[in-house]
Chain A
Amino acid sequence: MATSKAQTSAVRLEGITKRFGDVVANDDIDFTLERGEVHALLGENGSGKTTLMSVLYGLYDQNAGTIHVDGEPRSFDSPRDAMDAGVGMIHQHFQLVEPMTVLQNVVLGHEPTENGLVDESAARAEIEEISSRYDFDVDEYLDTPVRDLDLGTRQRVEIVKSLYRGAEILILDEPTAVLTPQEVEGLFDVMDELTAAGRSLIFITHKLDEGLTAADRVTVLRDGAAVGTVPADGTTEQELARMMVGREILFDRQPRETNPGDPVLEAAELRVRGDRGLERVTDVDLTVREGEILGIAGVQGNGQTELAEALTGLRPVESGTVRFGGEDITGMSRRRRIEAGIAYVPEDRQTEGLVQDYDLVRNALLGNQTIEPYASGGFVDWTAVREHAENIVEEYDVQPPNPDTEASSLSGGNQQKFIVGREIEHDPDVIVAAHPTRGVDIGSIEFIHDRLLELREAGLAIVFVSSKLEEIQKLSDRIAVMYEGEFIDTADPEDVTEEELGLLMAGHRHEADDESAADATEDAPEGGASS
């Protein structure tokens, strides 16, 4: 028994397919976790990592495919089932009851009892044993309420909780996202201890370096499919970056004329903090002119979102200035910026770009609440809004072509087309488009690309954020590469290679022109054109 167990893989997923409506979140994915290894699951947000693990963990039913745990075919109806089979998951958002002590949290739902009462001393002994075996240092906090602990300790409590419940296989969902660098080191030590004791770990991340440091093998997901599995030893970050962001052959750059006009949107020495208070944008300078597309390339999570939000008025800046048409708009509200002509295709179309349970008519008003003819004097003209929705649906080929459809029932591509249509129809001067083609089908991608290029021809200034090398190269007039909050270099899309871009996105600066790098302001002298 023991020997046969040692020979089988801890987890084997074969042909897992998971669909949400029209969206394929996991497409025929194979994945194997060997006993005693750390296996990193690497991919951008929305690439299907968490969905795949939720299938394994019993949160979702797969549409196709099989799950084997310890060689046995399994299908979990709930996390509880998974836990009973020795599979534990540490979620990004901890599942701890803050006012309760560490001890209470760990035993919650699995309290050892004696004569119907909770046997606290047995629980205490067992937790102390786990804690000391793996050097977790949580025994001293057993009677401390969880709310008094820092995030790194809370995470260890989560791990102890899973081990207490008998987890042999642990899924860690983006465990480093909330941690400081020191805490990340500590986590990696804990992971080593766990695998040394024969446990097997799946480590979900979108950070290349962490995948290489902490894991034995790395499987890369992209757009819901597994791109490949590579050993961490001998693989470089740029190879992983290439696998992660992929290449799509369709995107050929067409020859074009570049004659940018006046600067429209400028930022100087911009510093922006993220949701957790950490600085996510550091000293960014940028200028985008009439009739040009500034591409911002980078692996997701390097501050692009915060930068886009700071430009569009959704996030306050820490320091630095934003100018629009020469005017300082650093402190201007989101609404005033919309009215002034700054359009934003948000990164998160599900929660920001659309109200999911509104129909398309009501969604057509989103952002237009103060724009005539849709609203005047505080009153909404629903007839005008409906016409607007009908126009968008027709012009942008939104399927189904019915403005009374609820937004949530549209596929991702059609939602995106609707948002792009609505934002463009504002008749803006500048468009900030954050990952406008992510999770969108090929046809819609082409359509959105063509629209952006048309608008460029029409003289709009466009800031185009993407992590896909090909589309950045296809669309941009200039490329700024963002890494850990900084513009570490600029590139000319005409002659930069994908390899070079990949290197830059992985944080490798050009050695030679390191000093002059961190600036995406145009090289040409400012004198003539500035207003």
Chain B
Amino acid sequence: MSGSDSSRGRAALDRAAARMLNASVLQRLAIATASTALALVVGLVVVAAAGYDPIDFIANVFEGAFGDDAAVSRTLKFTTIFILTGVAVAIAFRAGVFNIGVQGQFVVGGFATVMSILWLAPFLPENAVGGVGLIVLGTLAGIVAGGAYAALPGVLKAYGGANEIITTIMLNFIAVGVVGWLVEGPLRGEGNRAPNTERIPEYVEFPSIVYDSPDFSVVGLAVALAVVVIVAVVVARTRFGYDMVTSGHQESAATYSGVDAKRTIVTTMAFSGMVAGVAGAVFAIMIQGYYSDPSGVGTYGFDAIAVSLLAANNPVGVVPAGLLFGGLDSAGAHIGLNSDVPVQLIDGIVGLVVLFVSAPELFRMAAARTGLGGDDR
């Protein structure tokens, strides 16, 4: 009896998987939206069960995300970083490479940006022109560092057969550990009590044009959107993008068409890491202005996995997905300060949203990989 139960369960799973695999982009967007709404409803039930007023809570969420200029700029600040890290993840996932190491690449890229700006500052004029020059050079350093740090697990996978999920996770720890040690000791700013590098010069910053916020600038958001456009064009209109996405869809067909599968793994990882490097650079220049112990800089690179999944790994879809996560983070910060709802509960509800919105897409990817939903694919 349990046998036929489990076979029925398997058949239902199979049907569900087939349904997910055949869902159109629009259906997938609808699924994501519905999941978000459902997660919030469940979250409100939890809030009510914990003895807080759910109406008050939801009002706080919206106020914290979009209530005033400070809230909006805070939301857009987080959104900027989520878009960049989300695109980094999306690139790799589209090519069937599971780069879980965006956090590490983000850290290494941001740290490289700060250090190169500090080292190069004496050679450039101390004015706006020098500032722009340092931003460009620092960002380039971040791109190179993030790309190289991602290419390493790419090489290990392509030529050594090492599972990239495991190596990238390990490299996250290494990045956090080594950068943490460097800012703790050898590269700590002179006279700093906290384990931080020195501050980058005042004139090296994005002008805050719209909101008068010390850590958000529309220039940063514009950089993120420009990266989205570039990545979308690369994926859809270039040979490299075609090779990459084809490898992700059906590696044997890509090989047949003359794609060097191993090299594509490495270039994909490098490309993904370069975008993570941009994220690190924008974070360092726009938000922090120095580099601190990376165990405390925020888990943008991990949340980016959920952002990318929510966007169905589509670079353009990452923009609204990043906005959602930016809004939630911003609301969390607000509620933590302005209501008696404990911060753990807020984190839990954000976690619910992550779980709900990622699950369908994760299920879809797992189904595609394991052959659920029909062997004829």
Nearest chain B residue, comparing its CB with the CB of A382: B237
A362 to B238, CA, bound (A): 12
In chain B, positions 15-68 with a C-beta closer than 8 Å to chain A are none
Give CA–CA (A367, B253) in the complex, Å: 9
B-facing residues in A348-371 (Cβ within 8 Å): 348, 351-358, 362, 365-370
Given A355-B250, A356-B250, A84 and B242 touching (CB < 8 A)? no
Asked if A353 contacts B3 (CB within 8 A), the reply is no
How far, in angstroms, from A408 to B256 measured CA to CA in the complex? 17
Contact between chains at A378 and B239 (CB < 8 Å)? yes
Nearest chain A CB to B10's CB is how many angstroms away? 6
Q: Does B339 contact A (CB under 8 A)?
A: no
Q: Among B256, B259, B377, which residue has the most Cβ atoms of chain A within 10 A?
A: B256
Quote the shortest CB–CB distance from B268 to chain A (angstroms).
15
Does B370 count as interface, using CB distance less than 8 angstroms?
no
For chain A, residues 71 to 119, give those with C-beta under 8 angstroms from any C-beta of chain B. Answer: 77-78, 80-81, 84
B253 A355 Cβ-Cβ under 8 A:
yes
A-B contact count (CB 8 A): 89
User: Across the interface, do B258 and A78 meet the contact criterion of CB distance under 8 Å?
Assistant: no
Point out the residues of chain A lying under 8 angstroms from B238, CB to CB: 378-380
Name, among A366, A367, A378, the residue most crowded by chain B CB atoms within 10 Å (CB to CB): A366
Chain B residues closer than 8 Å to A80, beta-carbon distance: 3-4, 6-7
With A78-B11, A344-B256, A380-B238: A84-B3 Cβ-Cβ less than 8 Å: yes
Q: How far is the CB of B91 from chain A (nearest CB, A)?
A: 17
Digitize B237-261: 1 where CB-to-A-CB distance is under 8 Å, 0 elsewhere.
1111011001001101111111110
Q: Which of A307-339 contact B (CB under 8 A)?
A: 313-314, 333-335, 337-338
A81→B7 contact, CB < 8 A: yes
Contacts A20-B376, A77-B11, A378-B240 hold; do A314 and B256 have CB atoms under 8 A apart?
yes
Alpha-carbon distance A348/B252, docked complex (angstroms): 10
A379 and B242 CA atoms in complex are apart in Å by: 10
Q: In whole angstroms, what is the CA distance A352 to B242 when docked?
A: 16
Which B residues are in CB contact (< 8 Å) with A382?
237
Residues from chain B with a CB closer than 8 A to the CB of A485 are none
Q: Is A36 an interface residue (CB 8 A)?
A: no
Q: Which of B361-377 contact A (CB under 8 A)?
A: 376-377
- Bound Cα distance A346, B252 (Å): 11
Quick check: A352 and B258 within 8 Å, CB to CB? no
B10–A78 CB distance below 8 A: yes
Task: Assess the B4–A77 pair: CB atoms within 8 A.
Answer: yes
Closest residue on chain A to residue B9 by CB atoms: A78
In the complex, whether A375 has a CB less than 8 A from a CB of chain B is yes
Chain B residues whose C-beta falls within 8 Å of the C-beta of A356 in the assembled complex: 250, 377
The distance from the CB of B313 to the nearest CB of chain A, in whole angstroms, is: 14
B372 to chain A minimum Cβ distance, whole angstroms, is 13
Q: Are A353 and B256 in contact (CB under 8 A)?
A: yes
Q: Are A366 and B7 in contact (CB under 8 A)?
A: no
In the complex, what residue of chain A is closest to B375 when comparing beta carbons? A59
User: Known contacts A379-B239, A380-B242, A408-B377: does B258 contact A370 (CB below 8 Å)?
Assistant: yes
In contact, A367 and B256 (Cβ under 8 angstroms): yes
Residue-by-residue, is B132-162 near A (CB-CB < 8 Å gives 1, otherwise 0)?
A: 0000000000000000000000000000000
Among B4, B253, B255, residue most surrounded by chain A Cβ atoms (within 10 Å): B253
Select from chain B the residue with minimum beta-carbon distance to A369.
Answer: B239
Decide if B256 touches A369 in the complex (CB within 8 Å).
Answer: no
Query: Which residue from A313, A351, A367 sits with its C-beta under 8 Å from B250?
Result: A351
Cβ of B4 and Cβ of A81 under 8 Å apart? yes
The answer to whether B258 and A333 have CB atoms under 8 Å apart is yes
- Nearest-CB distance from A375 to chain B (Å)? 5
Task: Note all chain B residues with C-beta closer than 8 A to A346.
Answer: 256
Classify the interface of chain B: helix, strand, loop or mixed.
Answer: helix
Whole-angstrom CA separation of A81 from B8 in the bound complex: 11
With a cutoff of 8 Å between Cβ atoms, the chain A residues found around residue B242 in the complex are: 362, 365, 369, 380
Tell me the complex Cα distance, A480–B231, Å: 50
Q: Are A355 and B246 also in contact (CB < 8 A) when A78-B7, A81-B4, A314-B256 are?
A: yes
Q: By the criterion of a CB under 8 Å from any partner CB, how many residues of chain B are at the interface?
A: 27
Q: How far is the CB of B365 from chain A (nearest CB, A)?
A: 13
Least Cβ–Cβ distance between B237 and chain A, in angstroms: 6
* Least CB separation from B258: chain A residue: A335
B219 nearest CB across to chain A (Å): 28
Which residue of A77, A337, A351, A362 is within 8 Å of B252 (Cβ)? A351
| 0/1 string, B314-325, CB within 8 A of A gives 1 | 000000000000
Known interface pairs A351-B253, A357-B249, A380-B238; A334-B377 also in contact (CB < 8 Å): no
Residues on the A chain within 8 Å of B253, using CB: 351-355, 366
Segment 216-252 of B: residues with Cβ below 8 Å from A: 237-240, 242-243, 246, 249-250, 252
Docked-complex contact B7 and A352, CB < 8 angstroms: no
Picked from B6, B239, B254, the residue with its CB within 8 Å of the CB of A375 is B239
Which residues of chain A come closer than 8 Å to B239, judged between CB atoms?
369-370, 375, 378-380
Q: How distant is B76 from chain A, measured CB to nearest CB, in Å? A: 32
The reply to whether B258 and A334 form a contact with Cβ atoms under 8 Å apart is yes
Contacts of B10 in A (CB 8 A): 78
Cβ-closest chain B residue relative to A334 = B258
CA distance in complex: A338, B33 (Å): 45
CA distance A355 to B377 in the complex (A): 10
Q: How far is the CB of A418 from chain B (nearest CB, A)?
A: 13
Chain B residue numbers with a CB within 8 Å of A333 are 258, 260
In the complex, the answer to whether A379 meets B237 with C-beta atoms within 8 Å is yes
Q: Is the CB of A338 within 8 A of B3?
A: no
**Which residues of B245-285 are within 8 A (CB) of A?**
246, 249-250, 252-260
Q: Which residues of B contact A338 (CB under 8 A)?
A: 257-258
* Chain B residues whose CB sits within 8 angstroms of the CB of A351 once the complex forms: 250, 252-253
Known: A346-B256, A352-B253. A366 touches B376 (CB 8 A): no
Give Cα distance in the complex from A463 to B117, angstroms.
61
Shortest beta-carbon distance, B236 to chain A, in Å? 8
Query: In the complex, how many angstroms separate the beta carbon of A71 from the nearest chain B beta carbon?
Result: 22
Q: Given A77-B11, A380-B239, decide whether A367 and B257 contact each other with a Cβ distance below 8 A.
A: yes
Q: How far is the CA of A84 from the CA of B7 in the complex (A)?
A: 12
Identify which of residues 93-142 in chain B touch chain A, using a CB-to-CB cut-off of 8 Å: none
A80-B6, A375-B239 given; A314·B255 CB < 8 A = yes
Contacts of A337 in B (CB 8 A): 258
Considering the chains assembled together, what is the distance between the CA atoms of A358 and B255 in angstroms? 16
* A33-79 contacts to B (CB < 8 Å): 77-78
A408 to B21, CA, bound (A): 13
Q: Give the complex CA separation of A380 and B236 in angstroms.
A: 9
Minimum Cβ distance to chain A for residue B335 (Å) = 43
Residue of B nearest to A337 (CB): B258
CB-based closest 6 A-B pairs: A335-B258, A78-B7, A352-B256, A367-B257, A80-B3, A366-B257
25 examples of A-B residue contacts, CB within 8 angstroms: A77-B7, A77-B8, A80-B4, A80-B7, A81-B3, A81-B4, A333-B258, A338-B257, A338-B258, A352-B252, A353-B256, A354-B253, A355-B249, A356-B377, A357-B249, A358-B249, A362-B242, A367-B257, A367-B258, A368-B257, A369-B259, A375-B239, A379-B238, A380-B237, A380-B239
On A, residues with C-beta under 8 Å from B are 20, 77-78, 80-81, 84, 313-314, 333-335, 337-338, 344, 346, 348, 351-358, 362, 365-370, 375, 378-380, 382, 408
Q: Hey, which bits of chain B sit against chain A, CB under 8 A?
A: 3-4, 6-8, 10-11, 237-240, 242-243, 246, 249-250, 252-260, 376-377
Starting from the known contacts A334-B256, A352-B255, A378-B240, 4 additional A-B residue pairs (CB-CB under 8 Å) come to: A77-B7, A334-B258, A357-B249, A375-B239
